[in-house]
Homo-oligomer: A and B are copies of this chain.
Amino acid sequence: MGQVAWKALFLSLFDYKTEKYVIAKNKKVGVLYRVVQLSILAYLVGWVFVVKKGYQDTDTSLQSSVITKLKGVAFTNTSELGERIWDVADYVIPPQGESVFFVMTNLIVTPNQRQATCAESASIPDALCDRDTDCLEGEAVVAGNGVKTGRCLKDRGSTRGTCEILAWCPVEKRSKPKKPLLGSAENFTVYIKNSIRFPKFKFSKMNVLATDNESYLKSCRYSQEHPYCPIFVLGNIVRWAGGDFQEMALQGGVIGIQIEWNCDLDKAPSECNPHYSFSRLDNKSAETSISSGYNFRFAKYYRDAEGVDYRTLIKAYGIRFDVMVNGKGAFFCDLVLIYLIKKSNFYRGKKYEEVK
């Protein structure tokens, strides 16, 4: 290209090109046009800004700390254990007061287990035997309690028996009480202390009433009327989650306690409140199903005067509570600019009118 052509091209860079418009002086079309324009503007202002609060910056990186503490004592009188009192150190596992805690409501105790040989439980299919060769020495019983010694133990006069095993003896008997041992746990209370913080906005709050009145926090119980009393009766939690306490206490189960903090920090801090919801997390299946309930085994280890270890095996049924906290804080910010750019189509419309 010649020098002239380059110059023309360069100059044309500073030409202002704009669409050519037709003005239709038709009132009907004009009104429709403005109505459409206004409704889109109303959508943006009304929905995106006012309802969805698009102008706010949100902080979803909530910092949360949960401390839980149970209170309550239960009395039981069984042929196996005699008269017994159960307090917090007995029935809460683990004891640390974290956001996940388990309340033991039923248990099968197998005391004085020692490393020895004994007959495997007859309820385990793999342990049934007719003769010694059915019990391969050194083989672990599938889903059982020990390792086979190679002998088949039979009751006098019977033709079938169970393999002898090396195990913690005697083995657990599979008989669950018909009624939960600690059914009175329904009246136990749990204090759930939750502090939250939105680090971006340096805003902190707690779910506990800021009061000097100590007796209030010692005697109150959470309800709709007392949203800042974080003391919950276990029976209420289970009922609010749609469960039946006595049935869950027998079989075990898992309850979720959600705490939500959705805070509009443009408003007063007193408008930033926790919202609780309760749900049953394990599937409430048929009673016969293998997958229903919640239980686990643990042992307390002792040593006798001869230095030999023995233990008490406990199969614990109970309710696990999972406290889950989530929330977001929102605050005014200069996202406005970003929205203006998105809506530039409208503003450009205005500009053009001025040019004309």
Residue positions of A touching B, CB distance < 8 A = 13-27, 29-34, 40, 43, 61, 63-65, 67, 69, 71-75, 83-85, 87-90, 93-98, 100, 102, 112, 115, 138, 140-141, 143-147, 166-168, 184, 187, 193, 195, 197, 199, 204, 206, 208, 212, 214, 217-218, 254, 256, 258, 279, 281-283, 288-291, 294, 296-303, 305, 307, 311, 313, 320, 322, 324, 326, 341, 352-353, 355
* Contact assessment for B254 and A67 in the assembled complex, using a CB-CB cutoff below 8 Å: yes
C-alpha spacing A32/B355, complex, angstroms: 12
Q: Which residues of B contact A281 (CB under 8 A)?
A: 63-65, 195, 197
Q: Which residues of B contact A289 (CB under 8 A)?
A: 214
CB-nearest residue of chain B to A355: B29
Copies in the complex: 3
Q: Which residues of B contact A341 (CB under 8 A)?
A: 40, 43
* Contact assessment for B65 and A166 in the assembled complex, using a CB-CB cutoff below 8 Å: no
Task: Given contact pairs A83-B166, A89-B299, A94-B96, enumerate 10 new A-B contacts (beta carbons under 8 Å).
Answer: A17-B353, A19-B19, A20-B20, A20-B22, A73-B141, A73-B167, A75-B147, A85-B168, A89-B168, A195-B281
Cβ distance A252 to chain B, nearest Cβ, rounded Å: 9
Cβ distance A138 to chain B, nearest Cβ, rounded Å: 7
* Contact assessment for B19 and A279 in the assembled complex, using a CB-CB cutoff below 8 Å: no
C-alpha spacing A30/B166, complex, angstroms: 88
Given A143-B71, A206-B291, A208-B291, residue A89 in contact with residue B297 (CB < 8 A): yes
Given A22-B17, A256-B65, A302-B303, residue A146 in contact with residue B322 (CB < 8 A): no
* Contact assessment for A140 and B197 in the assembled complex, using a CB-CB cutoff below 8 Å: no
* Contact assessment for A95 and B296 in the assembled complex, using a CB-CB cutoff below 8 Å: yes
* Contact assessment for B13 and A17 in the assembled complex, using a CB-CB cutoff below 8 Å: no
Cβ distance A313 to chain B, nearest Cβ, rounded Å: 6
Given A19-B20, A64-B281, A65-B281, residue A167 in contact with residue B256 (CB < 8 A): no
* Contact assessment for A15 and B24 in the assembled complex, using a CB-CB cutoff below 8 Å: yes
CB-nearest residue of chain B to A30: B14
C-alpha spacing A214/B177, complex, angstroms: 22
Q: Which residues of B contact A100 (CB under 8 A)?
A: 98
Cβ distance A205 to chain B, nearest Cβ, rounded Å: 9
C-alpha spacing A26/B193, complex, angstroms: 69
* Contact assessment for B297 and A88 in the assembled complex, using a CB-CB cutoff below 8 Å: yes
C-alpha spacing A100/B94, complex, angstroms: 13
* Contact assessment for A16 and B20 in the assembled complex, using a CB-CB cutoff below 8 Å: no
* Contact assessment for B290 and A218 in the assembled complex, using a CB-CB cutoff below 8 Å: yes
Q: Which residues of B contact A197 (CB under 8 A)?
A: 279, 281
C-alpha spacing A43/B342, complex, angstroms: 13
CB-nearest residue of chain B to A187: B140
CB-nearest residue of chain B to A258: B63
* Contact assessment for B19 and A282 in the assembled complex, using a CB-CB cutoff below 8 Å: no
* Contact assessment for A16 and B43 in the assembled complex, using a CB-CB cutoff below 8 Å: no
Q: Which of B21, B87, B294, B299 contacts A19 (CB 8 A)?
A: B21
C-alpha spacing A288/B195, complex, angstroms: 18
Q: Which of B90, B214, B307 contacts A290 (CB 8 A)?
A: B214
* Contact assessment for B87 and A283 in the assembled complex, using a CB-CB cutoff below 8 Å: no
Lowest 4 CB-CB distances: which A-B pairs, in order? A65-B281, A14-B30, A95-B298, A89-B299
* Contact assessment for A282 and B166 in the assembled complex, using a CB-CB cutoff below 8 Å: no
